[in-house]
Structure 1
């Protein structure tokens, strides 16, 4: 591994360049990205289906089917940061290696699992959202729906204010609590990375709304293919429980790639990361020559 010879050129990029580069990354690593997404998306899809299974007998009613789709969108929106972590790990390895290796990627990740559970799964609202999703399948008065909306607003605010917490956890692997004086914790690292750039993060958070028309386009194309190829005009179980979530998860994969590239761009702008990589590469070469 040579730190100054990365698979993605380390330089500052404008937002449109980042989205363009994300499409290229998706094209080059599409199979690995699908594999990484499947690690979390398949279990989460099964859990979501189980949580909403009580609504299945009434899905023939358009109003119930519509609410089912809305609940599924909310669930995947809340779960997106967790589902995208394997893709983040993959891209972090692919940045410095021509061929990503799962064993190398997973080495040392076990220690950060408790941090992921606490920071991402609980504090980012995924666990409360899943409990509310289960409640929603039995709630006739839509009280859970109102709470889910508030939870989604909270999650959207946190992702705008602290969007790169997943990258900090799985790539930089900072601890949550400092055991020694001077240790850079997740909180300190997050503050130093995010606080000076809140305006830029806000603009990029607003730009991420492009995922809405993108999701609509993918889902409608999936529905259209079912209509023209198989003649299926109705919203059957396969569409509700498989094809619809699949379309949303593909958007999650793309936006995870975008967020990773935005994270790299922020480190370059804020910390001069490209200079750090060159210096670390030269230090490594000097050590090899001296040793």
Structure 2
């Protein structure tokens, strides 16, 4: 792993630049991103389908459709940090390694599961008053998943290492206004993407294949487009996390010095 030879140029970028770069990253790693996203998402799609069936019993009325959209959105927002964790781990590897390892992704995910469960399941469950659940994790702590998965700080401070929550506080300090603005922009663009993808697939199925949209097709199509958008913004968030570390910590200098230290140690050996 060569820290000064990153596969993505380590430099400051705007949020809009990261939206564009995310498309290029997904294109470059399309197969791996799809496989890892499916690994995390498909079990949750099945669970969400069962939940919606119990709640709505296949009802296609206007009121039931609104409830289906609402509960689907809430479920995906709540589940996304866990479901997209394999994608984030893969991107962290792919940044410095030309041949990322699926086994290493699985090992790292298992090692991070306790903190993921604590912070992204239990804590978010306690905050599951809808407004708080939407605003706090995504707007005020947008990079908590990256801190847990990629930096792997201990749960409590020890040996000079910051705890996960302290490290997250340091990384996010003084940027809450910017994060809220980005969160609102992500909600706006994400909403447009969901509508565009849903309408497009509905028209394609109806016009080209003559498939009418029943309750099951409607639920699965909505779940599909919500998760596609969630995975896309996972990549955007990863790139924004890199940008934040560069801006606040001079990360490109740290990577260069780390690479030089490793070379010196290899030569000394």
1:234 aligns with 2:213: yes
- Partner residue of 2:64? 64
What is the Cα deviation at residue 192 of structure 1? 0.6
Separation (CA, whole Å) in 2 of partners of 1:106 and 1:261: 22
Going from structure 1 to structure 2, the CA distance change for 1:58 and 1:284 (only over 3 Å counts) comes to: closer
Report the equivalent of 2:140: 161
Q: 2: distance between equivalents of 1:165 and 1:181?
A: 22
- 1:56/1:160 CA distance change after superposition, 3 Å: closer
Q: Provide Cα deviations, 1:202-251, integer angstroms capped at 9, x if missing partner.
A: 222222121110111111111111111222343331332x2221111000
TM superposition score normalised by structure 2: 0.93
Match of 2:200 among 202, 221, 228: 221
Structure-2 residue corresponding to 1:112: 112
Q: State the alpha-carbon separation in 2 of the partners of residues 165 and 45 from structure 1.
A: 24
In structure 2, list runs of 5 or more residues that go unmatched: none
1:183 CA drift (Å): 2.9
Secondary structure, in 3 states, of the residue corresponding to 2:13? coil
Matches within 5 A, 1:40-119: 40-55=40-55, 57-119=57-119
Report the Cα distance in structure 2 between the residues aligned to 1:77 and 1:188, rounded to whole angstroms.
Answer: 24
Q: Which residue of 2 aligns with 1:140?
A: none
* Contact persistence 2:48–2:72 (CA under 8 A): yes
Compared CA separation, residues 280 and 220, structure 1 to 2 (3 A)? same
The answer to whether the aligner puts 1:273 opposite 2:251 as a matched pair is: yes
1:123 & 1:173 partners in 2: Cα distance? Answer: 18
Q: Distance in 2 between matches of 1:27 and 1:270?
A: 29
Query: Which residue of 170, 175, 194 maps to 2:172?
Result: 194
Q: Is the 8 A contact 1:74 1:152 kept in 2?
A: no
Structure 1 position 247 matched with structure 2 position 232? no
Query: Is this contact kept in 1: 2:127–2:133, CA < 8 A?
Result: no
CA distance in 1, matches of 2:120, 2:57: 33
Which residue number in structure 1 is paired with residue 150 of structure 2? 171
Taking a change above 3 Å as real, the CA distance of residues 229 and 190 of structure 1, as seen in their structure-2 partners, is same
Change (3 A) 1:192 1:200: same
Write the distance in 1 (CA, Å) between the matches of 2:127 and 2:250: 38
Question: Aligned-pair distance for 1:128?
Answer: 8.1
- The Cα offsets for residues 104-153 of structure 1, whole Å up to 9 and x where unpaired, read as 3233442321111010112123x886xxxxxxxxxxxxxxxxxxxx4254
Question: Which runs of 5 or more structure 1 residues have no equivalent in the other structure?
Answer: 130-149
Question: Normalising to structure 1: TM-score of the pair?
Answer: 0.86
Alpha-carbon contact 1:11-1:274 (below 8 Å) kept: yes
Distance of 2:120 and 2:164 partners within structure 1: 12
Residue 97 of structure 1 aligns to a residue whose secondary structure is coil
Partner of 1:212: 191
Change (3 A) 1:214 1:60: closer
Matched position secondary structure for 1:106: helix
- Which residue of the partner structure matches residue 7 of structure 1? 7
